Amino acid sequence: MISHLPKKPKNKEGKYKDTINIALAGNPNVGKSVIFNQLTGLSQTIGNWPGKTVERMEGYLDFLGYYFNIVDLPGIYSLSTYSLEEIVSREYIVSDDVDLIINVIDATNLERNLFFTFQLLELKVPMILAINQMDILRKRKIELDFEELERIFKLPVLPVVAVHGIGVHQLLEKAIKIVESWTPLKKEFEFPELTSILSFGKEVETKIKDLTTEINKNQDYISDFHYPSRFLAIKLLEDDDEIIKIFESGEKVRSNIEIAKNYRKELEDYHGEDINTIISSEIYNNIHKIIEKVVHIKSKEKVKKTSLADRVDHLTTHSFWGYVILAVVIFGIYAFTFTVGDFLGGLLEGLYEDLSITVYDTYGEDNIWVKILWNGGVGGFFGAVGGVLVYVIPFFLIIEILQDSGYLPRAAFLMDRVMHVMGVHGKTIIPMILGLGCNVPACAGCRIMETEREKKISVVLSSLVPCAAVMTVVMGLVGRYLGLFWLLFLFTINFSVILLVGRVLNKTMPGVCTELIMEMHEYRVPNYSVISKQTWLRSKEFIYKALPLIIVLGITLEILLQLRALDPINIVLAPITVFWLGLPIVTGVFLIYGILRKELTLVLLAILASSMGLTLLELMTPIQMIVFCLVTMLYVPCFATVVIIAKQTNWKYALQISLMEITVALLIGGLIHFGYIFFTTL
């Protein structure tokens, strides 16, 4: 997932009145992506924030003559520096690319959601509050006083039922009204003064005001960073490392750090708590006051019925059944992926064989162009589509369902203890489960880890998880020809290696394991449109990036085979492949190709076998298959994974890891080969 910025459709002369840039912000799981999908439909792109490993969802929409550019920000709880997502979000919101924010708020959980709203307020960007899940609130007979909310926040507040698309387009109508009310110079927008209910207690507020005045003395320098000075003052008080960096960079403003430090100390002494506790408590107190004013509970009776979601939650976090279910889920991911994949792959294979016969009949089987273009190009295409794509799509589908339903945090809860053995906390299980499909998003997903140390360990663990590509190789060889027992044998070795590597990394890497702090949101029925669109977007990326590569490589390989150019490489690698691993000599170059994409090892092997008129079982002995699969499973992660590991950590580390994994793979492969020879000669 190399970073790429989405193409913007051109605003044809006079077609649109104006472009309105909107950022959707809010806590995780409040229905942000549902609203995003309702608004932008299929015209959306997944990319990366420039230079960052955070995913950027962007979409476009033509509405009432305006051109809307909507960015779905990652779900976060605050605007501190806890994660990269928080930093990316706050930097983006204050940049010139945003005209207004839509803050999506879950009506059923105002307390926590409004905390984030309070943080957004300090960024002084025009904002609309969208209160989602109003239907559930109504069902619980709870009323929300929208007029009071608007009066308190001095912002438009709108009810939304995102899943049914109710109120979603009204958000944009409101946005248009706001934009049209601006003077021709947008930047002259005046953000309303904070009412007393929105500001901090007297002591904190005075310190913030004093500090703001101090900061404003160097307005010209500070304005380059786009943040409002009050926000900077609060963050300086909170000892926010990113903001401190800004102040350290300027000669004139450096003194503010010292002032903030003194203020902080005064406040901490006065309240007897640390600054973050003071500020958070005051915000939560204000929220409490707001909720008392705006929430009216109509029905006295409490809903005591345990819902289905609660029961599922209880079962999936149960100390025995939870693990059983986790095992079933992991098995289910593979089972679903491969049942669907095998079925579709079989259809395509049949089609290719039928077509091949026609082509051979027409042009002759020994025609060199037939070999290069048909066997190499078209064969490669069918190999990629029928051997890989048919597995990738169902996998993405099932992962999206797991993600959207809310199962993954449960797995983290259950696995936290085991993960501590490897020096990371439970959340690592999430990228590892993603790794069952593809190691690239898995390693990218390791950004959810909080510290450098955990990130470093997590990327290694995730890169060792057998991905769908590796699975196609293993299923296509061992699964197809040798059966379930040997499949389990391979997986046992693979997962033992993961555990062992994690253990060693934990022991050798300096630092200690941090602790899990994670929200576990309620289960919900996955949203059909979000899932289908996400699946499609992710598959599209695969189609555009991997398919052309596979076809080109297929043709190149066929040409090389025809020219007998592969022999030297194979001979150089022969001591390793033939002597140490006991594999056929041709596999040397395939293993090299496998670095590009692991499934190529099997795809190319199949192409070779078919060009020689053999089946795979005639090409390789069972023990060779086992060794070949094992080496493919464990040796250097594919090229894209190495790149993403380097991006998450650094190139030196990525290369070290690759070398380590090659060594482990060769070691185990050799042991099995010689072990087999030893036992058969006994």
Partner 1 sequence: MIRSMHKKSHGHRNGHKRRGTPLIKCLTECDKGEEVRVLNVNAGYGAKRRLAHLGIVPGVKILKKKSAPFRGPIEIFVKGTKLVLGRGIASKILVECNETCSF
Is 556 among the residues that bind partner 1 (CB under 8 A)? no
Residue with tokens 């085991």: 418
Segment contacting partner 1 (CB under 8 A): 75-83, 148-156, 192-200, 585-593?
A: 75-83
Provide, rounded to whole angstroms, the least separation between the CB of residue 413 and partner 1. 5
Is 150 among the residues that bind partner 1 (CB under 8 A)? no
- Under 8 Å between Cβ of 204 and 282: yes
Phi, psi of 482 (to 5 degrees): -115, -20
Provide, rounded to whole angstroms, the least separation between the CB of residue 271 and partner 1. 10
Distance CA 442, CA 534 (A): 16
Is 324 among the residues that bind partner 1 (CB under 8 A)? no
Query: Residue 220: how many CB atoms within 10 A of its CB?
Result: 8
Q: What is the length of the chain?
A: 682
Residue span 655-674 as binding mask against partner 1, x where in contact by CB under 8 A, dash where not: --------------------
Q: Which residues pair with 267 in a beta bridge?
A: none
- Under 8 Å between Cβ of 648 and 455: yes
Q: In 3D, which of 342, 338, 321, 333 has the Cα closest to residue 403?
A: 333
Provide, rounded to whole angstroms, the least separation between the CB of residue 239 and partner 1. 7
Is the dihedral angle over the CA atoms 32, 38, 39, 43 positive or is it negative?
Answer: positive
Is 78 among the residues that bind partner 1 (CB under 8 A)? yes
Pick 285 or 562: Cβ nearer partner 1: 285
- Under 8 Å between Cβ of 69 and 22: yes
Find the binding residues for partner 1 in span 473-532 (CB under 8 A).
514-522
Provide, rounded to whole angstroms, the least separation between the CB of residue 78 and partner 1. 4
Output the 3-class SS for 15-61. Answer: CCCCEEEEEEEECCCCCHHHHHHHHHCCCEEEEECCCCCCEEEEEEE
Q: In 3D, which of 284, 202, 194, 278 has the Cα closest to residue 237?
A: 278
Task: By CB under 8 A, name the one of 111, 242, 353, 452 that touches partner 1.
Answer: 111
Find the binding residues for partner 1 in span 410-449 (CB under 8 A).
412-414, 416-417, 425-426
Task: By CB under 8 A, name the one of 3, 9, 82, 483 that touches partner 1.
Answer: 82
- Under 8 Å between Cβ of 106 and 519: no
Segment contacting partner 1 (CB under 8 A): 272-280, 336-344, 526-534, 567-575?
A: 272-280
Residue with tokens 């022999």: 567
Is 317 among the residues that bind partner 1 (CB under 8 A)? yes
Task: By CB under 8 A, name the one of 99, 238, 558, 661 that touches partner 1.
Answer: 238
Q: In sequence order, which residues have a C-beta less than 8 Å from that of residue 376 and are 6 or more positions away?
A: 554, 555, 556, 557, 558, 559, 607
Q: In 3D, which of 626, 625, 608, 598 has the Cα closest to residue 566?
A: 608
Provide, rounded to whole angstroms, the least separation between the CB of residue 292 and partner 1. 15
Provide, rounded to whole angstroms, the least separation between the CB of residue 468 and partner 1. 29
Counting residues that bind partner 1 (by CB under 8 A) gives 40
- Under 8 Å between Cβ of 175 and 20: yes
Is 284 among the residues that bind partner 1 (CB under 8 A)? yes
Pick 15 or 524: Cβ nearer partner 1: 524
Provide, rounded to whole angstroms, the least separation between the CB of residue 29 and partner 1. 9
Is 405 among the residues that bind partner 1 (CB under 8 A)? no
Residue span 586-625 as binding mask against partner 1, x where in contact by CB under 8 A, dash where not: ----------------------------------------
- The residues of the shown chain that bind partner 1, judged by CB under 8 A, are 77-78, 80, 82, 108-112, 115, 238-239, 273-274, 276-277, 279-281, 284, 317, 319, 409, 412-414, 416-417, 425-426, 450, 514-522
